[in-house]
Structures are given as structure tokens and as C-alpha cells.
Structure 1
Amino acid sequence: MSQENQANYGAICAFLYREARHLDDREWEPWLEMYAEDAEYWMPAWDDDDQLTDDPQSQISLIYYPNRNGLEDRVFRIKTERSSASMPEPRTNHMLTNVEVLAERDDGVDVRYNFHTLSHRYKVTDHFFGTVYATLRKVGGSFLIARKKIVLKNDYIRQVIDIYHI
């Protein structure tokens, strides 16, 4: 790997780790600022044949926001205690691994990485894990998330899944 590619890879990892930290620290506004205005945020569901749904417009999704407005609304509900599913807010710990650059263009980069999130609430700790496919848009010397597809591998869950779980 060339020095330039190593620097890009390090910047990509640092960006992804910062997003996870913002979620863990409940820093909602800085977390939202990491997303482009037109960012698609999607967690498809698994169908009965153990295949992922592939159309958020016509099939079931666990979470789907076609742009950042949906994320902003979700954060508003969390912050103003208008989300009973988020009260009290769980304590989370996000771990990211296997960060892989799939494609790089002048204006962006496609990445794939695995996640494992621990979530603690009501004296119970839940585990969420899976794979994320993200498109990062190059902006200045950093990135914005332009698309995020979350494949939750343990989708038989006993509670509402939310943005801070993944």
C-alpha cells in the first residue's frame, strides 16, 4: 500500500471511529453533521428466505431514511424525550473492525466494515452486530456520509432497534 493510500485509509478509519464515538457519547449534533443532506440511511430486513430485502420503497426495512431529514427527526425525538423507546437512553459501545476500501473515486469512496455494538439498559446488555456498506463523499480534507446500508446479522431482537444501536 502506498503512503498516500495508507494516509487515506487512516483518514477513513478515523472518520468512522469518530462517528461511533459520537453515538456512544450521545453527541447528536456532531453525529448529524457527519451526514450529507441527501444521505440515504438504510437497514434492510431479512425476508422469509433468509435474503435481504432490496427495495426500501416497496419492501420492509428495519430503518429507512431517504435523506438526513429523517435522521434529524429521530435525533429531535431522542433529545426531547419524545421517544419512549429511547428512555432512558441506553449506554452503548460501538466496535468497528475489518474496514475495507471497496472503491475510490475523485469525489468519494465506498467502504465496508463490520460492527459489534453493546447496548446496556434496564440492567440488561444486548449485542447487535453486522456489516455496513457506506459511501463517503470527499469534502475538503474530510468526508460526509452519502449512503449507509446496515446489514444487521442478529435481527431477531426483543426491542426496538434505533440509530444508536448500529
Structure 2
Amino acid sequence: MSEHYDGICQFLYREARLLDDRQWDEWLTCYHPKAVYWMPAWGDDDCLTSDPQTEMSLIYYPSRDGLEDRVYRIKTERSAASTPEPRTTHLLTNIEILEGDSQRCTVRVNWCTHSHRYQQSDCYFGHSHYQLEHHDQGWQIMHKKIQLNNDYINQVIDIYHL
């Protein structure tokens, strides 16, 4: 799998760049149509929720359709939380392939996103687990689970923060 490490890193860097550049349609192509996008909430016992069907999540889209709807609302200014869109810079580090082969792999990534809007800058940080599959067009995200480690969020968190 180490021979595929550079390609996986480049794919993950590209996903982050597309968010920073607000290239929404290209960003969506990083996700398989059946991709799950999930950011669980922290429970009262300082543990993440474990089932998006029965417990609270900060964000949960069971397929790319949810992401497409979110992007549509951002692009058409039908999202008050995203108007104006914040400026973001995504930083990825400690990219580690946990398991897999040349067709499927699980990757853990630490991340930090700086966001600026309304003369206010914020920093969001955590790590994500990706399940990637290699298709004809390259790697695609099948599942992304995001762990946000901030204790306090002073605005609505959205896909471009993560």
C-alpha cells in the first residue's frame, strides 16, 4: 500500500483545495454517489455518538445526494449560514493508511481549518477517517467520518469547515 501513499495524499490535498477554492462541483466528484458523510456529536459522557440513525450528529448525509443539496443551497445563496461564504484554509497532516490495498483503503487524517467571515477568524480541528475506493477516474470517498475536537463553536459548522 505504501506505493499508493503519494496518490492518496494528493487526492486528500485536492479535496481540501477544492473546498478552499469553492469549486463545489469538482469537490462533489471526490465523493462516490453512495458516500456517507458523517460528523458525530459529543455525548454527555465525553464520547462520540456511534449511530447516526438513533443519536445526535452535527452533520449526517447518508449519500452524496445530501452533499449535492447542501452545495446547491450554498451556490444559490439559499443558505443564510453560508452567506457570505467564509474564506477557508485547510491544513492536513499525519496522513496514515490504516489498512487496505490498491483498490480500497482506510485512511486517518489530522486536520485544522482556519475560517474567516465577518471580521472574525476561527480555527476548527480534529481528525477524519476516510474509506476510499479506486475507480476508473481515481480515488473516491465512500465514507468520511469527521471528529471535530473543538469544545465551543460560535457559528454554524458546515461542509467547508471540515
**Structure 1 length as normaliser, TM-score?**
0.95
**What is residue 41 of structure 2 aligned with on the other side?**
45
**What is residue 81 of structure 1 aligned with on the other side?**
77
**What is residue 8 of structure 2 aligned with on the other side?**
12
1:6 deviation in Å?
4.0
2:141 is the alignment partner of 1:139: no
**What is residue 98 of structure 1 aligned with on the other side?**
94
CA distance in 1, matches of 2:149, 2:95: 17
CA distance in 2, matches of 1:90, 1:60: 26
In structure 1, the gaps of 5 or more residues are none
**What is residue 120 of structure 1 aligned with on the other side?**
116
Amino acid at match of 1:114: N
Which stretch shifts more, 5-14 or 92-101? 5-14
Match of 1:74, SS state, is: helix
**What is residue 23 of structure 2 aligned with on the other side?**
27
**What is residue 71 of structure 1 aligned with on the other side?**
67
RMSD of equivalent CA atoms: 1.0
Q: How many residues align?
A: 162
Deviating beyond 2 angstroms after TM superposition, the runs of 4 or more aligned structure 1 residues are none
Identity %: 58
2:37 is the alignment partner of 1:57: no
